[in-house]
Amino acid sequence: MGFDAKDWLRGNPKIKAANSSEYVDGDVLLERLEEMQRIMKDPLYFAEKYFYIVTLDAGKQLIKVYPKQAEMLKAMCTKQRVITLASRQCRKIDIIFNVLLMVCIVK
């Protein structure tokens, strides 16, 4: 599989471009479908395995979901409306982006 710049966003091999295609065999397809089903059932799994943040100190790293964030994530995925009373520094936006990203990808 060679590098074709048109398949990548601005030539970055870490980001697929829109309308690019990828051919996979049946086993890989089944693995991906199983992964999507697991993500749909467990939003916390998606957050801990696929959601990255970038910090000045540590660079790119997987998000660490704290217990209250996990509770908020579960509520956002199961309830129609959620009201949260929390301080500014508790990384609510990470959880909100995680939910939005998961909805865009999976549903």
- Quick one: pLDDT at residue 27? 93
- Quick one: pLDDT at residue 5? 67
- Quick one: pLDDT at residue 57? 84
Which tens digit of pLDDT belongs to each residue from 24-53?
899 999 999 999 899 888 888 988 898 888
The residues, ordered by sequence, that sit 6+ positions from 106 with a Cβ below 8 Å of its Cβ are 36, 39, 40, 46
Domain ranges of the chain: 23-106
Which tens digit of pLDDT belongs to each residue from 62-88?
888 888 888 888 888 888 888 888 777
R_g of the chain, CA atoms, integer Å: 17
Collapsed DSSP state (helix, strand, coil) of residue 55: strand
CA distance 47 to 45: 5
* pTM strictly above 0.75: no
Q: Which residue has the higher pLDDT, 14 or 68?
A: 68
CA distance 44 to 59: 22
